[in-house]
Amino acid sequence: MKKSTLCAIVLTVLFSACAGQKVVKQEPVQEPVGVAESGYAQSFETDNGGFFPRGGEELLTLSTESAHSGNYSLKVENRSKAWHGPSVRIEQYLEQGKEYTLSLWVKLISPNASQLQLSTQVGEGNAASYSNIARADISTASGWLQLAGTYRYDNTSSGYITVYVESSTDAPASFYIDDVQVSELISAPLVLEDLPPLKARYEGTFLIGNVIAPTGTSGQRFELLKKHFNILTAENAMKPSSLQHDKGVFTFEDVDKMIDTVRAEGFKVHGHTLAWHQQSSEWMNYDGISRDEAIDNLVTHAKTVAGHFSGKVISWDVLNEAIVDNPQHPTDWKASLRQSPWYKAIGPDYVEIVFKAAREADPEAMLYYNDYNLDNQNKSLAVYSMVKDINERNPQVNGRPLIDGIGMQGHYVTNTNPTNVRLSIERFISLGVEVSITELDIQAGSNSQLTEKQALQQGIAYANLFKIFKEYAQHIGRVTLWGLEDSSSWRAATNPLLFDKDLHAKPAFYAASDPERFIAQNEALLPQDAKRVDARYGTPTIDGAVESLWNGVPSVNVDQQLMAWQGATGTAQALWDDSNLYVLITVTGAELNKANTNAYEQDSVEIFVDENNHKTSFYEEDDGQFRVNFANEATFNPASVAGGFVSAATVSGKSYTVEIKIPFKHIQPADGTEIGYDIQINGASASGIRQSVAIWNDLTGNGYQDTSGYGILTLTAK
Ligand code: G3I
């Protein structure tokens, strides 16, 4: 049979498989256009190629308004959830064990900026697994942008596999897609390496975990999981909307099978999660529900689920992500709670209510509060305050507090400062609770590419963290990685895991396995000493004109690029007097664009000041970030540092000069005083997106919240 005829039949099947879904344009059966020799291709010139709306309510229409190629694209509108979007079944084009390139083009319609991702789903309902293959920040000015990545379909037995586009943040985003392609990659068959099992390295130290989906209990990935890990978390299958999508209808079957299989293989199981603001069914806590009904829904769900799995899970994330990011009054935990549907329906006591329900249903399981960004000291203080208050108000039972543990998710980047992780672990331990690292991954590289240097830097980041985990092992129950290999991660594009797409160990694996050795072998990658420069004594006029006073003042080059694009660079000089610091920055090679509503994405300069030069991993009172764009519009972090700041800017072609006065507020400056200091130049593209960042000293990109990487400015020559 000719491939194209086969595909025509397949597409007919696809249409009928999607019956009931709102596919707006159903073409009569015909030869599909653009089906590749092997695989699936769709350019929407004659029909929608079997694409259907994932959520059922999105509007998909063939459109001539814009096309990446030909005349038509598929327009996607009326989305109301982040996971909504166009989806197409592709299992007919796949062979088990083979690797495929997945790619398509997207163009944003609205809002002005969003984050879109290309994902693949294997299996249906709560048996499904989801991998987010490629992700892009996109603006309406970006035009057509390609999302592409690869995925190996280790297990096709579910008979239901899709590729789809969703957004990771903006649910209402509308966009076009075009030129979808799924094609086989010729790659070597998987061979698992003979490595010392990670779980053996941490035997008696802490449990070492990973994630699983009900479709994941066979194949090479499962073999690798068995070799290295001894505890599993369901990545999605035990979330509220998976287990009780419709009120009163609990769907345990797939998860029960999965848990029986993995327990028979010797794994322990951790439950994730009884209450969360995402992946929760709307009927549970909709706008306008009465408090009593919401409490009943919460308690019924928690008790039924925790009761059902009692004896089979050792611990639960009872409540997930209840605290806002960077809370402003962290000791007031109630004021730091996220305005989630549960909070709105019940009030702050929902936290205690769900823990009590879980304890009642499963008195044995360790009950955890779980959250991300707990390296942020404000957020960790808010969590500390919450757990302290609740545990103090609830008498211990059998020597155990109501909240047994705090889960630090650990979705990190290579620049995450390990000192902040340490500080939070210490803070939580001081409460007498157990700590676990529950969703560890560390992003490095982009577009599924990782250079050798980035892989080693990622290794250093893993090694630094594992060293800390070992130090506090007595209080750490479990360290769980959020995924096995990069291509099946929720952040596949940024290569965050220990194994690569071919299931080979990355430097990160060796770093996690033997952190001390890894650090010793890669010392050259450790942070270098801070750069130094002198400031001269003098008081300039802040007018953007370069007066003679600046002549001969030491100048530094602001030219270390932090992003892939080599954009605007410049020089900076500093003067000081008894009241102020003065900085003169000259920028060249700028596009002079300030269209973006994010000030940091405009052509602008930033000065970081740490007056007492304490080099802390978080901002103290004397620390500040001052930003001025080429049109002399200033922004501040925190807002309180703005007082007394004066600036002037002049523009000449693609260059601009900014002159700045920053008052000293926390030190008495004197000859020889050293302050923490750095300069950054943000370069916007012609379409108004930040495309380059040049820095003088701190390569971590963390200067906005962490002063430990700043250079040093010495006040001289009074
Ligand atoms: O939820 C819908 C479901 O209602 C719908 O029927 C189905 C249609 O096929 O799609 C489902 O959405 C998928 C969801 O998992 C299911 O839970 C998304 O498309 C898919 O991208 C998805 O992402 C998961 C994400 O949580 C959901 O918020 C990731 O795989 C998973 O790794 C991620 O995990 C979270 C932790 O639970 C909590 N901490 C953060 C971490 C990363 O976001």
Buried b (16+ CB within 10 A) or exposed e, 518-544: bbebbeeeeeeebbebebbeeebebeb
Atom of ligand 1 nearest to the CA of 132: 21
- From the CB of 371, is ligand 1 less than 6 Å away? no
Q: In this structure, which residue's CA is closest to atom 8 in ligand 1?
A: 54
Percent of the chain past pLDDT 90, that is, above it, reads: 84
On the question of pLDDT at 25 being above 70, the answer is: no
Q: Where are the beta strands (DSSP E) in 499-568?
A: 532-537, 555-558, 560-561
What mean pLDDT value characterizes the chain? 92
The first and second tokens of residue 298, run together, are 């919460």
**Can you spell out the DSSP letters for 125-154?**
GGG-EEEEEEEEEEEGGG-SEEEEEEEE-S
CATH 3.20.20.80 region(s) of the chain? 198-444+477-486
CATH 2.60.40.1190 region(s) of the chain? 532-715
Which residue in the list 179, 434, 439, 500 is annotated as catalytic? 439
Specify the pLDDT at position 66: 98
The pair phi, psi for residue 689, each rounded to 5°, is -120, 140
User: Which letter does DSSP use for residue 402 in this model?
Assistant: S
On the question of pLDDT at 10 being above 60, the answer is: no
- From the CB of 588, is ligand 1 less than 6 Å away? no
Nearest to 351 by CA among 374, 373, 319: 319
Q: In this structure, which residue's CA is closest to atom 36 in ligand 1?
A: 235
Q: Are 699 and 521 a contacting pair, CB within 8 Å? A: no
Averaged pLDDT for residues 581-599: 95
- From the CB of 281, is ligand 1 less than 6 Å away? no
Amino acid at residue number 585: I
| 192 contacts: CB under 8 Å, gap ≥ 6 | 220, 223, 224, 227, 503
On the question of pLDDT at 364 being above 90, the answer is: yes
Which residue in the list 166, 317, 321, 591 is annotated as catalytic? 321
CA–CA separation, 617 vs 422, rounded Å?
A: 11
CA 338 / ligand 1 centre spacing (Å): 19
CATH 2.60.120.260 region(s) of the chain? 11-185
Q: Are 486 and 499 a contacting pair, CB within 8 Å? A: yes
CA–CA separation, 614 vs 612, rounded Å?
A: 5
CA–CA separation, 17 vs 51, rounded Å?
A: 11
CA–CA separation, 677 vs 703, rounded Å?
A: 10
29-42 residue pLDDT tens? 233 333 345 689 99
User: What CATH architecture is 532-715?
Assistant: Sandwich (2.60)
* Secondary structure (3-state) at 212: strand
Q: Which residue has the tokens 């586009």?
A: 165
Strand 674-684 and strand 690-695: the pairing is antiparallel
**Can you spell out the DSSP letters for 263-302?**
HHTT-EEEEEEEE-SSS--GGGT-TT--HHHHHHHHHHHH
120-177 residue pLDDT tens? 999 998 889 999 999 988 888 889 999 999 999 988 888 999 999 999 877 789 999 9
Give catalytic status of residue 57 as yes or no.
Answer: no
The first and second tokens of residue 500, run together, are 């690569």
- From the CB of 130, is ligand 1 less than 6 Å away? yes
CA 238 / ligand 1 centre spacing (Å): 11
On the question of pLDDT at 27 being above 80, the answer is: no
CA–CA separation, 61 vs 69, rounded Å?
A: 16
Give catalytic status of residue 516 as yes or no.
Answer: no
CA 114 / ligand 1 centre spacing (Å): 18
Please state, as a whole number, how many other Cβ atoms lie within 10 Å of the Cβ of residue 263. 14
**Can you spell out the DSSP letters for 2-31?**
-HHHHHHHHHHHHHHHTTTS--S--PPS-P
Residue to mutate, 236, 278, 442, 491, ligand 1, most ligand atoms under 8 Å from C-beta: 236
**Can you spell out the DSSP letters for 311-348?**
TT-SEEEEEES-BPSS-SSTT-TTTTB---HHHHHH-T
Fold of 198-444+477-486: TIM Barrel (3.20.20)
| 323 contacts: CB under 8 Å, gap ≥ 6 | 333, 336, 337, 338, 371, 379, 382, 383, 386
SS (H, E, C) 295-313: HHHHHHHHHHHHHHCCCCC
Specify the pLDDT at position 26: 29
Which residue in the list 371, 434, 611, 678 is annotated as catalytic? 371
Give catalytic status of residue 352 as yes or no.
Answer: no
Averaged pLDDT for residues 247-252: 98
Specify the pLDDT at position 39: 87
Specify the pLDDT at position 11: 30
CA–CA separation, 47 vs 442, rounded Å?
A: 41
* Secondary structure (3-state) at 585: strand
CB hemisphere CA count around 129 (13 angstroms):
30
Averaged pLDDT for residues 405-423: 96
Sign of CA dihedral 12, 13, 19, 24: negative
On the question of pLDDT at 686 being above 50, the answer is: yes
CA distances (Å), origin 116, targets 59, 108, 133, 412, 459: 17, 9, 11, 20, 28
- From the CB of 166, is ligand 1 less than 6 Å away? yes
CA 543 / ligand 1 centre spacing (Å): 53
Please, what is the Cα angle at 252 between 250 and 256, to 5 degrees? Answer: 165
- From the CB of 441, is ligand 1 less than 6 Å away? no
The pair phi, psi for residue 257, each rounded to 5°, is -60, -45
Q: Where are the beta strands (DSSP E) in 340-432?
A: 366-371, 405-408, 411-413
Atom of ligand 1 nearest to the CA of 131: 30
Specify the pLDDT at position 37: 53
- From the CB of 239, is ligand 1 less than 6 Å away? yes
Q: In this structure, which residue's CA is closest to atom 42 in ligand 1?
A: 490
449, β-bridge pairs: 446
Q: In this structure, which residue's CA is closest to atom 16 in ligand 1?
A: 236
The pair phi, psi for residue 690, each rounded to 5°, is -65, 120
What is the band of 12 on the pLDDT scale with cuts at 50, 70, 90?
A: very low
Residue to mutate, 490, 491, 494, 497, ligand 1, most ligand atoms under 8 Å from C-beta: 490
CA distances (Å), origin 688, targets 106, 295, 535, 560: 18, 47, 34, 22
Specify the pLDDT at position 3: 33
- From the CB of 83, is ligand 1 less than 6 Å away? yes
204-237 residue pLDDT tens? 999 999 999 999 999 899 999 999 999 999 999 9
User: Which letter does DSSP use for residue 485 in this model?
Assistant: B
Adjacency order of strands within the sheet including 161-167: 52-53, 86-89, 161-167, 113-122, 129-139
Of the candidate CATH numbers 2.60.40.10, 3.40.50.300, 1.10.340.30, 2.60.120.260, the domain formed by 11-185 belongs to 2.60.120.260
CA–CA separation, 699 vs 335, rounded Å?
A: 35
CA 115 / ligand 1 centre spacing (Å): 15
Residue to mutate, 84, 132, 147, 279, ligand 1, most ligand atoms under 8 Å from C-beta: 279
522-569 residue pLDDT tens? 988 777 789 999 999 999 999 999 999 999 999 999 998 888 788 899
CA distances (Å), origin 271, targets 238, 412, 424: 7, 22, 23
Q: In this structure, which residue's CA is closest to atom 19 in ligand 1?
A: 83
CA 243 / ligand 1 centre spacing (Å): 13
Atom of ligand 1 nearest to the CA of 162: 9
- From the CB of 480, is ligand 1 less than 6 Å away? no
Q: Tell me: cis bond preceding 233? Omega within 30 of 0 counts.
A: no
CA–CA separation, 665 vs 189, rounded Å?
A: 63
Specify the pLDDT at position 359: 98
CA 236 / ligand 1 centre spacing (Å): 6
Which run of H or E residues covers position 197?
A: none
101, β-bridge pairs: 150, 183
